[in-house]
Structure 1
Amino acid sequence: MIKKILLLGMFATLGLGCKSPKAVTQESSKSEKKESDLKEYSQVITAKAKSDEGLFTTHFVDDKLYFEIPTELFEKDMLLVSRIAGVPSRFGGGYVNAGSKVNEQVVRWVKRDGNVDMKVISFENQSDEESPIYKSVQANNFFPILFSSKIETWNNDSTSVVIDASGLFEKEVDAINGISSSLRKRYKVKKLDNSRSYIESAHAYPKNIEVKHVMTYEAETPPDRDQAGTISMLLNQSMILLPEDKMRPRLANDRVGWFTIDKYDYDSEELKADDYEIIRRWKLVPKDIEAYKRGELVEPVEPIVYYLDPATPEKWRPYFKQGIEDWNVAFEKAGFKNAIIAKDPPSKEEDPGFSPEDVRYSVVRYVASTTRNAMGPSVSDPRTGEIIESDIIWYHNHLRSYRNRFMIEAGAQNPKARTLNTPEEEIGEMMRMVIAHEVGHALGLPHNMKASSAYPTDSLRSAEFTQKYGLTPSIMDYARVNYVAQPGDEDVRYIRMLGPYDLYAINWGYRFLPEADSAKEEKATLDKWILEKAGDPVYEFGNGYSGADPQSQRESLGADQIKASEYGIANLKKVVPNLVDWTSKDGYGYGELAEVYRELGYMWRGYLSHVVTNIGGVYETRKTSDQAGVVYEPVPSDIQKNAVKFLNEEAFTTPNWMLNQDLLGRIEASEAIDRIQSIQTWTLERLLKKDRLKRMITNEEVNAKKAYSSVEMMEDVRKGIFSELYNSRKTDAYRRNLQRSYVDIASAYLKELKERENDEVLKSDIMALMRGEMEQLKADINRRKNRVDHQLTRFHWNDLLARIDAATLNEI
């Protein structure tokens, strides 16, 4: 009898060993269920539940949101993308809009006894699992738990667990929070008000979950007084299943502009953790690799498809679709045909499951908003850089921006720009190119602000040149309207378009390289392509972030920024006298006139800024150590000196052309002086920034004979701004304001001696430079202040003396 029991036990054991792992898991799960004494499924997910099946099944039961998570999805990588879906008026000063991304992080759902944890996973630090250092990398990059919830129940066949996910969206979780620390401080946010925070919706799709939730914060100083001491915002959380079949990454190279992801390789043979970057791009694989190898154009296995938002007005749809498919010419350079496709939104009959929220669909969204902007965000796999999905955002009022800019920058040269009702062909072309620019971002390309400096400035006045090459080699530059063209320049192109750099960059990033077995093996080929273009400014990249390179600036045009700004201001001077006629409409006031005139002032300021950057400027040409020549080269002294001469004439001389009384008398009572002072002071502050002065002082030491010295620059500026003093003439109100600004800016440096806050400036030659300037100006005023027979001017000189004394006598 004992033997029979032992045999039965042995057969039972053998029988268990023959079961599938899934069966074992299910039995184990059922055992856990009994042991933990969980509720029955129907007691948790009741008949009142509003359910949606997809990646997870989501259930709303009363005021709770439940996730039903299949056990097969435990330990799977998912991308959690947090976006702002709705913001209060004037939030973030108007610069934080619906659609703004807050965070992007990889998460995994992990079962832990009777709980499920959501862990944040990082792929920044990497090591091969077989490498000895792998355990150390894991130990020193322990993954934090973002959210945890106990298991409420299992589904009927024990293949899924059910958790209450409400706490993730109703409580304040920093990693998905919509209010940054700076805005929290700005609005004096106290805490989250749980009673006014709730989940609005949850939808499940085959590859993603979308949850919208309202977060309400108590705030002492909300952006709008009507908000009753609160800030409420709508957040959207997207949880996206990342692909099992990982795309081969492509190593980045900063000589070609791409959005990138940082990585650290601990298996490197270098005597350090090898830091590198991979680019963000869509996964394009040829359908016929052999034909592709032969140089034939081949369609990709999965093309990039963009759907238009159903809200897109019918008359704009052709321009949007053209802007998307314009990129096919670039993909053809990479060996692909029909790589990117634009489609109208499907009808309910064609695709009843279509939703812009579904990660399977990339959509150009048309947003009814007063925001004047467009965006090209994308979602990418941080493991490989593969772009998973993208939603281009077009805000309706962006039309207004381009209508105004076209009038301001092309009105002098182009009769079609002399109306607020811009002809459809022109505004449609602008929309097309804005969409193409944003699609460029969504393909992985950042701004290339250096591109505009590749073309000779006067070439932009040529119809033959601009119609063939556009305004810049890259549509990813900010070169919106051809302000260089002058009246009489016939048939020139006014709107940007794709250029040779864009084709080059797409080929570099998307060309399929079947002969390589790894990202490292691709590098030699990719580097070779860069070296083939080295020295040609058409193929150079610069993001414009440093603020030091005049050849890499937003909104600038042409290789000669001074000449381009001369052309631009010449056009503005012709536009101002016509604005009343071009903006007036019978039966309406002058609101449009005021808006366009204000924006014209911003254009003037921008042209001045382009010139300022040349002073103390440094040209940057990105190179690797195998290329000859330096990376950084100071702007030649004659260009810098000419830039100061330009500023004295076009920035610091009273702009009487802006003071058109027929215009000003229709829009304001007395703001002209303040407006001009604001623009002139802004320009002067940029000119006298410490970083610029430090570069000039450094250059003097390195290139003593060739450099435009800081002392010489300050003297040239002083003699221009105070020309009335040196020529014994009276000053007008505009010049007095500018001269006060000059003294105040220089004095602010000296006052730092007393406050002792900026050690970097205190120990630099800037202090000696500013003290010397103030002493020289004081001496000059004392010698010349009584040479002019104008009482207010003499009072003004005495006021400046008092300001200088206050700065120089009391700084310590």
Structure 2
Amino acid sequence: MKYVFLFVFALSLHLGMAQDKTSKDLNSVLKNMPEDKGLITTYFEDDKLYFKFPEEVLEKDLLMVTRLKQLPANYSAYRNAGSKTSEQMIHFVKVGKSIDLVQVLTTNVADEEDPISLSVAQNNLNPILASFPIKSEKGKDIVIEVSSFFNADSPSFNIIPDRLKSEYKIGKADDKRSRINSVKSFPENTEITHTLTFPTAKPPRRNSTNTFTFQINHSIIALPEDKMQVRYEDSRVGWFGIRKYDYSSEALKSDEVRLVRRWRLEPKDEKAYAQGKLTEPKKPIVYYLDPATPEKWRKYFIQGIEDWNSAFEKAGFKNAIVAKMPPTPEENPDFSPEDVRFSTVRYVASTTRNATGPSVSDPRTGEIIESDIIWYHNHLRSYRNRYLLETGAANPKARTLDTPEEEIGEMMRRVISHEVGHALGLPHNMKASSAYPVDSLRSGSFTQKMGIAATIMDYARYNYIAQPGDENIRFVRQLGPYDDYAIEWGYRYFPNSTPEQEKEILESFVDERSTNPLYMFGGRGNDPDAQTEDIGDNSVKASTYGLSNLKIVADNLNAWTTPEGQNFEDLEELYGEMLGVYRRYIYHVVSVAGGVHKTLLHKGQDGIPYQVVDKTNQINALDFLNKNVWTPQYWLVDKELISNFAETGKLETLVSINKGVLNRLTDAERLTMMWDTHSTLAGNGLSPQELLNLLTEDLIYSRTTPDQVERELQKHLVHQLIQLVDDKDLAMELKGHSLSLQEDLLTDFNTRAGSTEGELKAHYSYMIQMLEEALQTGK
């Protein structure tokens, strides 16, 4: 036993000496590497990255946010620089001689004093994302190497969705073309930027390298030790939220609850606040402008941010949100836009036409910790073009591509307000644009006071309804009454109240308001009152005004966009976007046919949550389509205009737009939904059989001498009727009706073919052949 003891002692001594030597060697290495102190002290050089942190960081609640910093061209229409790919709470956990990086699941919760909390813990084991051997442990400091973790495509990063991996046939990340780019540490966060390169066997067009390279940024953020009190969602008010399942609920199941995401605003003077006096918050929301923001636009950015102060005043706060230029190095040498303590509006020199308003929030409580608004430079071009196309008929200031600076500035201001709204916790509210009567939007006094929609959070950008001669019109959106209402609901401070007590108070607040159109919230779906890019309470009337204006713009497009001595590139771009505007106006009306009005209600409030659109309104919508779509719109393909830039003509483009409208109306899924809602929901709507009858009458029976465009639509309608019979999911009642329509059309076409000559006879003979083959197959 003595020899065994001596051997074990000698071995342990040897291992200890070896460990001491390893630690000394590592300390020597770290001593010669650049050190950056912060939440996690980092050492980074030549693609080697070490983390050093004290024991206090172990099992501390941290948030890891992964974003795309740069991405390949033509990669995805729904992802751009700044897009978040994952957000997860993590812990660094010591297990023996290793540190595990653990994802902490926060969705399933229970009261810690409730025995069921033990079961919640046992049945929700946190996954281990990575494990790192401890390289050194000196006093309270622990050192690990994380180089390989950030040079890999960890599934937890969710860099490329499975759908895109499959679509582009993307392989594994190439180690030789992947690297860590930079590392920065701050008191409350650590930032790691790295590059991942992937081979792709089926890249998008114009990618001849068969390669995708991404630059990714990871933020590791310390979450507040003092948790903010949660606020429960009310679905009738639009807020971004966090879903949780409460197993301590008194309901006979795990109760799903949603917490809203909001900044922590508390009054400096609670006594004054309780007396109804406007009070400054202890910590206002501060946004710093990017130093790269052109000077002439800065005032508009500041206005767009601080416009929200009027809404915060409804919640009892003054100067709640502040915009500032960043401090100079002399004023604050430690300032950095990447420091989580500072929220910024970044100005990005990019061809991207977009702006975004992301934020980072505490997954435990919903507290918004930091936000970076991103403005992409070329977004100006989108707004300039649409300003001309949608308002130029009634707005002389819009009739140029050299839009006056104050007009562009006003548009930028409102875009920034919209994105800040997202960063404050507000999602889109597409219902709000239907709150105002259409004709009120032709009133100068109304639009100057109320704007063009009840919220800045709708996609209601311009007043395309106002007509030539209407005076003192507001053409650009602004904050509205819904914004005041939503901010008051989310940010009103209730001292000494529990979340449950707050919920009861706020439910009464919403009960009194939510059925008023000014305060309604709604997503998209099949509600014609909750569409994107529309304004006014009547789609048919609004689009009629819009098309009247667009025809004036079409007549003047060349004159307004192309000065003497200039080529026609701008004209071609504007023409393509003009077709898009026409399509939008038409689709706003298409949504009325078969639509369902959705009103978010609680029991006891007046109204019906789901009600089909009245039949008269649906028929009016089809009459509009008959006049403005099925009857060819040759003003859209004017020879004098198109000959300036097009080599092949645009008639096929017009036919394609029209076919798209017809596809939408005769879609089997849509017709099945109509069949269902017509039978089971409140209201007197149009049946799908009646819809098909009206389409057949408008497109075929009422057109005795169809021209070339009308003939294409007739063929397409017959094709759609044939396809409906073959659709396996279509209700049998609708299949039978489609067959009956085909048989009637066959009889009609045979009659017409016998009394016509030339192109018409050939047209009817072709459709006779289509129908005979289809009916024969069906039998």
The TM-score, its normalising length taken from structure 2, stands at: 0.95
Counterpart CA distance in 1 for 2:528 and 2:493 is 36
Residue of structure 1 equivalent to 2:746: 778
Contact 1:110/1:119 (8 A) holds in 2 = yes
What is aligned with 1:384? 365
**What residue is the counterpart of 1:3 in the other structure?**
none
1:180 matches 2:156: no
Matching residue's letter, 1:533: R
Match of 2:623 in 1: 645
CA deviation digits over 1:703-746, x for unaligned, max 9?
899332222211111121125xx4531x3222222222222333
Whether the aligned pair in 2 keeps the contact of 1:750 and 1:808 (CA below 8 Å) is: no
Is 1:39 equivalent to 2:22 in the alignment?
yes
Instruction: Give RMSD over aligned pairs.
Output: 1.9
Q: Provide the rounded CA distance (Å) in 1 between the counterparts of 2:623 and 2:283.
A: 57
Structure 1 residue 772 displacement after superposition = 2.7
> Who is 2:131 aligned against?
148
Once the 2 structures are TM-superposed, how far is the Cα of residue 650 of structure 1 from its aligned partner? 0.7
Report the AA paired with residue 645 of structure 1: D
Give the match's secondary structure for 1:215. Answer: strand
Q: Do the aligned partners of residues 704 and 345 (structure 1) sit closer, same or farther apart at CA in structure 2, a change above 3 Å counting?
A: closer
For residue 497 of structure 1, report the CA deviation from its aligned partner. Answer: 0.3
Distance of aligned partners of 1:699 and 1:189 in 2 relative to their CA distance in 1, 3 Å threshold: closer
> Does the C-alpha gap of structure 1 residues 34 and 533 become closer, same or farther in structure 2, counting only changes over 3 Å?
farther
What amino acid does structure 2 have at the position aligned with 1:65?
L
Tell me by how many angstroms 1:335 deviates.
0.4
Q: Alpha-carbon deviations, 1:238-257, whole Å to 9, x = none?
A: 11110001000100011000
- SS class of match (1:400): helix
Give the Cα separation in 2 of the matches to 1:603 and 1:736: 25
Q: What is the aligned partner in structure 2 of residue 687 from structure 1? A: 665
Q: Which moved further from structure 2: 744-753 or 418-427?
A: 744-753
- What residue in structure 2 maps to residue 12 of structure 1? none
Question: Structure 1 35/529 Cα, relative in aligned 2: closer, same or farther at 3 Å?
Answer: farther
Q: Do the aligned residues in 2 keep the contact of 1:614 with 1:643 (CA within 8 Å)?
A: yes
State the SS of the aligned residue for 1:651. Answer: helix
Aligned partners of 2:45, 2:120: CA distance in 1, in Å?
42
> CA 1:95 to 1:707, structure 2 compared with 1: closer, same or farther past 3 Å?
closer
Q: CA deviation at 1:748?
A: 2.5
Give the Cα separation in 2 of the matches to 1:185 and 1:671: 37
What is the distance in 1 between the residues matched to 2:369 and 2:15?
Answer: 37
Alpha-carbon distance, 1:660 to partner: 1.3
Q: Does 1:537 align with 2:517?
A: yes
**Deviation at residue 128 of structure 1 after TM alignment:** 1.2
What is aligned with 2:72?
88
Q: SS in structure 1 opposite 2:777?
A: coil
User: What amino acid is the match of 2:609?
Assistant: V
Q: After TM superposition, give the deviation of residue 51 of structure 1 in Å.
A: 1.8
**Equivalence for 1:503:** 484
- Cα deviation, residue 611, structure 1: 0.7
Give, in whole Å, the separation in 1 of the partners of 2:533 and 2:159. Answer: 31
Displacement after TM superposition at 1:222 (Å): 1.8
For 2:307 and 2:443, the matched residues in 1 are separated by 23
Shift of 1:171: 1.4
1:191 aligned partner = 172
Aligned residue number for residue 715 of structure 2: 740
1:7 aligned residue: none
Contact map agreement 1:446 1:543 (CA 8 A) in 2: no
Question: Structure 1 pair 415/705, CA: closer, same or farther in 2 (3 Å)?
Answer: closer
Amino acid of the structure 1 residue aligned with 2:553: V
Unaligned runs of 5+ in 2: 1-12
Q: Does 1:77 align with 2:61?
A: yes
Match of 1:23 in 2: none
Identity %: 47
Pairwise CA distance, 1:223: 2.6
Relative distance call for 1:284 and 1:764 in structure 2 (3 A) is farther
Letter of the 2:38 counterpart: G
Q: State how far apart, in whole Å, the 2-side matches of 1:448 and 1:201 are.
A: 39
Is 1:449 the counterpart of 2:430 in the alignment?
yes
Superposed, which structure 2 residues align to 1:266-345 within 5 Å? 266-345=247-326
What corresponds to 1:674 in structure 2?
Answer: 652
**Does 422-431 or 177-186 show the bigger shift?**
177-186
- Identify which of 691, 694, 697 aligns with 1:713: 691
Residue 98 of structure 1 pairs with residue 98 of structure 2:
no
* Residue 508 of structure 2 corresponds to residue 528 of structure 1: yes
Deviation at 1:663, TM superposition (A): 0.7
Comparing 94-103 with 382-391, greater Cα deviation is found at 94-103
Deviation at 1:775, TM superposition (A): 2.5
| Count of aligned pairs between the two proteins | 766
- CA distance in 2 between counterparts of 1:227 and 1:301 reads 55
Residue in 2 that maps onto 1:19? none
Once the 2 structures are TM-superposed, how far is the Cα of residue 147 of structure 1 from its aligned partner? 1.2
Partner of 2:643, secondary structure, is: helix
- How far apart, in 1, do the equivalents of 2:197 and 2:773 lie? 48
Counterpart Cα distance in 2 of 1:672 and 1:227: 30
CA distance in 2, matches of 1:272, 1:524: 22
Picking from 764, 770, 776, the partner of 1:803 is: 770
Compute the displacement of 1:231 (Å): 0.8
Match of residue 10 from structure 2: none
Cα shift at 1:764: 4.9
The alignment status of 1:134 with 2:117, answered yes or no, reads yes
For 1:596, which of 567, 574, 577 is the aligned residue?
Answer: 574
- What's the offset of the Cα at 1:224? 4.8
Q: Distance in 2 between matches of 1:338 and 1:241?
A: 27
Q: Which secondary structure state, in structure 2, belongs to the residue aligned with residue 89 of structure 1?
A: coil
Q: The residue matched to 2:696 in structure 1 has which SS?
A: helix
- Would you say the 8 A contact 1:49–1:62 is kept in 2? no
Counterpart CA distance in 2 for 1:211 and 1:58 is: 10
Does the C-alpha gap of structure 1 residues 656 and 111 become closer, same or farther in structure 2, counting only changes over 3 Å?
Answer: same
Residue 440 of structure 1: CA displacement?
A: 0.3
Distance 1:60 1:639, change over 3 A: same
- 1:51 pairs, out of 35, 38, 62, with 35
Q: 1:33 to 1:785 in 2, by over 3 A?
A: farther
Letter in 1 for 2:111: D
Matches within 5 A, 1:647-662: 647-662=625-640
Given that 2:610 and 2:682 are in contact with CA atoms closer than 8 Å, whether structure 1 keeps it comes out as: no
Task: Supply the distance in 1 between the matched residues of 2:196 and 2:773 (Cα, whole angstroms).
Answer: 50
Matched residue, 2:209: 228
Distance in 2 (alpha carbons) for counterparts of 1:727 and 1:520 = 64
Give the alignment partner of residue 551 of structure 1, picking from 517, 526, 529.
529
Distance 1:193 1:727 in 2: 62
Distance 1:705 1:193 in 2: 59
State the SS of the aligned residue for 1:798: helix
1:627 alignment partner in structure 2: 605
Q: Distance in 1 between matches of 2:154 and 2:56?
A: 27
Shift of 1:767: 2.4
Stretch of structure 1 that moved more, 555-564 or 221-230: 221-230
Contact 1:474 1:502 in 2 (8 A): yes
CA contact (8 A) 2:109 2:245 kept: yes
| Alpha-carbon separation, structure 1, partners of 2:765 and 2:625 | 26
Find the residue that maps to 1:91 and give its secondary structure. coil
2:618–2:685 Cα contact (<8 Å) kept: no
Cα gap change, 1:636/1:752 in structure 2, threshold over 3 Å: closer, same or farther?
closer
Shift of 1:587: 3.5
Letter in 2 for 1:672: K
Query: 2:26–2:135: 8 Å Cα contact kept in structure 1?
Result: no
Q: Which residue of 1 aligns with 2:451?
A: 470
Following superposition, the deviation at residue 324 of structure 1 comes to 0.1
Q: Could you give the per-residue CA deviations for residues 10-43 of structure 1, whole angstroms, max 9, x where no partner exists?
A: xxxxxxxxxxxxxxxxxxxx99987966722553
Instruction: Confirm or deny: 8 A CA contact 1:200 1:214 kept in the other structure.
Output: yes
Quick one: distance in 2 between partners of 1:805 and 1:98?
54
| Aligned match for 1:212, one of 171, 174, 193 | 193
Matched, 1:794 2:757: no
Q: C-alpha separation between the residues in 1 aligned to 2:214 and 2:682?
A: 57
Task: Could you tell me which runs of 5 or more consecutive residues in structure 1 were left unpaired when the two chains were aligned.
Answer: 1-29, 754-759
Distance verdict in 2 for CA 1:421–1:764, change over 3 Å: farther
Determine the structure 2 residue equivalent to 1:585: 563
The structure-2 alpha-carbon separation of the partners of 1:83 and 1:227, relative to structure 1 and needing over 3 Å to count, comes to farther
Q: Flag the 1:705–1:396 CA change in 2: closer, same or farther, 3 A.
A: closer
Q: Deviations over 1:58-77 (max 9, x none)?
A: 11143311111221011011
3-state SS of paired residue (2:459): coil
Q: Does 1:728 align with 2:687?
A: no
